[in-house]
Amino acid sequence: IKGKHVLIVEDIIDSGLTLSWLLSNLGSREPASLEVCTLLRKPDAAKVAIDVKWIGFDIPNEFVVGYGLDYAEKYRNLPFVGTLAPHVYGG
């Protein structure tokens, strides 16, 4: 990816730990630019600071499902994003 413009497109950013590692890894490969775009971000769940250029929505630190997001391979096909009741996942 040396010299290329790289855009990471995320569905959701929770703690940011995985994305932080990915940014470090890709950054070491000398891209011309490295940006992040996410549909959803949970600022209260963040464990590391990440510069996200484009954010669809900041959301509370709740378990969300639908629109591609799942819990135990369920709820992924919902045509909306909603919160999952804590009793469903033991939270």
pTM: 0.89
At residue 90, the pLDDT reads 84
Residue of 11, 14, 44, 58 marked catalytic = 14
Partner residues linked to 51 by β-bridges = none
Q: Would the pLDDT of 4 be above 80? A: yes
Span 17-70, pLDDT tens digits: 999 999 999 999 999 999 999 999 999 999 999 999 999 999 999 999 999 999
70 catalytic residue (yes or no): no
Partner residues linked to 5 by β-bridges = 33
* SS3 of the chain: helix, strand, coil, percent, to 5: 20, 35, 45
